[in-house]
Amino acid sequence: MTAVSLESFLDQLRQFRADASAALDAASDAAAFEAARVEFLGARSGRLKAIQKQLGGLSVADKPAAGRHFNEAKATVEALLTAAQDRVAATTAGVTAEAIDVTLPGTPVPLGHVHPITQTIRRVQEIMGRLGFESVDGPEVEDQWHNFQALAIGAEHPARDPLDNFYLAVARGADPLLLRSQTSTVQIRVMETRQPPLRIVSLGRVYRPDTADATHYPMFHQVEGLLVEKGTTMAHLKSVLRLFASSFLGGDVHVRFRPSFFPFTEPSVEVDMEWGGRWIEMGGAGMVDPAVLEAVGYDPREVSGFAFGLGVERIAARRYGVADIRDFYRNDVRFLQQF
Ligand code: DAH
């Protein structure tokens, strides 16, 4: 056996500890620990084993000190290995605890849905579409021609009262613009750009400075219908409204006309619908006034038409059994999620 000096033996032990410690610090999983364990402490070809073999080459006088250092180094590296294994086991357990257990039953994610007023609008569009009415839009900021004049609502008509309208500080020509107070504006806009025959329906917001209560709101929605064809009569109007009402409300609905007045229809009626034993006023209707047909360049001797305007909140409230239309706009999910 070649002689070994105590100094070189201790150097090797020091190097062994330093290398083992660095390797264990760098190891982060079970495979790396096993590799380090085999390299440093492996019983057959580990580095500690190789150092141990040199013990026999030391002088008898140095052996006790060398043996003590050897045992110390061995214990230290064994402890480092255990500590490092514990450290990684702890973090791995943490990761496992936080990980998603895909075998657990899912928690439902609450899904939103379309607002009941929008649902109502879409349903009305669909029903009217089946009756041949094309859905069209019009602007919410209107001029006085479309909101009043062309609808035969003259300059002195009380419907133009500033207290009943949201006039804007912006004018077109001499007249201030306004937030439209009715969707009848769209009748004019369509007739100005198209020729009869036509069947349109227009659903959208209208604005009036009303105090909010169970049946009023300063912003609400209307559905406007217009049909202009040769030979149109009130009988067609009533048939369309009854077909609409029974499709929308379902089952046996009665439609009743009460004589009324609107500047843009002649004759004019209020439309009531009975469903489940209760009559409700839904809006107005009538035969398009010849003056309106003339205002858009139609010949009233050639064509005639009917028009109607219903309150969307009203028909939605009726259909869903809502007592206070303000609930539609409170954004309370407990209310909205019922639809
Ligand atoms: N525009 C009317 C209103 O807001 C409702 C109305 C009545 C519309 C008669 C019509 C109609 O088309 O023919 O009170």
Residue 222 lies in a domain: yes
Query: Atom 4 of ligand 1 has which residue's CA nearest to it?
Result: 182
pLDDT recorded at residue 332: 94
Does 173 share its domain with 312?
Answer: yes
Work out which ligand 1 atom sits closest to the CA atom of 181: 4
Residue 108 lies in a domain: no
Regarding the beta carbon of 207 and ligand 1, being less than 6 Å apart is answered no
Which helix (H) or strand (E) segment is 257 a member of?
A: strand 254-262
Query: Atom 3 of ligand 1 has which residue's CA nearest to it?
Result: 182
pLDDT single digits (tens) 101-150: 888 888 888 888 999 999 999 999 999 999 999 999 999 999 999 999 99
Query: Atom 13 of ligand 1 has which residue's CA nearest to it?
Result: 285
Arithmetic mean of pLDDT, 181-186: 98
The residue with greater pLDDT, 241 or 251, is 241
Tell me how far the alpha carbon of residue 159 lies from the centroid of ligand 1, in angstroms: 12
pLDDT recorded at residue 255: 93
Q: Which of 181, 237, 262 to mutate to test the pocket of ligand 1 (most atoms within 8 A of CB)?
A: 262
pLDDT recorded at residue 1: 66
pLDDT recorded at residue 110: 82
Residue 1 lies in a domain: no
Does 86 share its domain with 233?
Answer: no
Residue 169 lies in a domain: yes
Residue 106 lies in a domain: no
Work out which ligand 1 atom sits closest to the CA atom of 182: 4
Does 95 share its domain with 138?
Answer: no
Does residue 251 register a pLDDT over 80?
no
Q: 65, 99, 133 — which closes off a domain?
A: 99
Does 172 share its domain with 320?
Answer: yes
Tell me how far the alpha carbon of residue 215 lies from the centroid of ligand 1, in angstroms: 17
Work out which ligand 1 atom sits closest to the CA atom of 288: 13
The residue with greater pLDDT, 188 or 28, is 188
Regarding the beta carbon of 143 and ligand 1, being less than 6 Å apart is answered no
Regarding the beta carbon of 273 and ligand 1, being less than 6 Å apart is answered no
pLDDT recorded at residue 30: 83
Tell me how far the alpha carbon of residue 283 lies from the centroid of ligand 1, in angstroms: 7
Residue 110 lies in a domain: no
Tell me how far the alpha carbon of residue 284 lies from the centroid of ligand 1, in angstroms: 5
Q: How confident is the model at residue 169 (pLDDT cuts 50, 70, 90)?
A: very high
Output the domain CATH number for residue 130. 3.30.930.10
Q: 47, 70, 99 — which closes off a domain?
A: 99
pLDDT recorded at residue 22: 92
pTM higher than 0.75: no
Regarding the beta carbon of 120 and ligand 1, being less than 6 Å apart is answered no
Work out which ligand 1 atom sits closest to the CA atom of 206: 4
pLDDT single digits (tens) 279-326: 989 999 999 999 999 999 999 999 999 999 999 999 999 889 999 999
* Angle between helices 30-41 and 47-54 in degrees, nearest 10: 10
Does residue 91 register a pLDDT over 80?
no
Regarding the beta carbon of 184 and ligand 1, being less than 6 Å apart is answered yes
pLDDT recorded at residue 270: 98
Tell me the residue type at 203.
L
Does 70 share its domain with 177?
Answer: no
Residue 109 lies in a domain: no
Q: How confident is the model at residue 96 (pLDDT cuts 50, 70, 90)?
A: low
Regarding the beta carbon of 244 and ligand 1, being less than 6 Å apart is answered no
Does 191 share its domain with 292?
Answer: yes
Does 248 share its domain with 332?
Answer: yes
Split into its structural domains, the chain has a count of 2
pLDDT single digits (tens) 36-66: 999 999 988 999 999 999 989 999 999 999 9
Q: 67, 99, 131 — which closes off a domain?
A: 99
Does 164 share its domain with 226?
Answer: yes
Tell me the residue type at 123.
R
Backbone angles phi, psi at 173, to 5 degrees: 70, -130
Q: How confident is the model at residue 249 (pLDDT cuts 50, 70, 90)?
A: confident
Does 223 share its domain with 303?
Answer: yes
Give the domain extent around 34.
6-99
Residue 218 lies in a domain: yes
Tell me how far the alpha carbon of residue 324 lies from the centroid of ligand 1, in angstroms: 23
Does 46 share its domain with 143?
Answer: no
Query: Atom 8 of ligand 1 has which residue's CA nearest to it?
Result: 309
pLDDT recorded at residue 29: 84
Long-range contacts of 34-42 (CB under 8 A, 24+ apart): 36/81, 37/81, 40/16, 40/77, 40/81, 41/74, 41/77, 41/78, 41/81
Regarding the beta carbon of 182 and ligand 1, being less than 6 Å apart is answered yes
Regarding the beta carbon of 283 and ligand 1, being less than 6 Å apart is answered yes
Q: How confident is the model at residue 97 (pLDDT cuts 50, 70, 90)?
A: low
CB atoms under 10 Å from CB of 112, counted, come to: 8
Regarding the beta carbon of 196 and ligand 1, being less than 6 Å apart is answered no
Tell me how far the alpha carbon of residue 184 lies from the centroid of ligand 1, in angstroms: 6
- In the chain, alpha helices (H): 6-26, 30-41, 47-54, 63-98, 116-130, 144-147, 184-193, 234-249, 290-295, 312-320, 333-336
pLDDT recorded at residue 172: 87
Does 245 share its domain with 307?
Answer: yes
Does 233 share its domain with 163?
Answer: yes
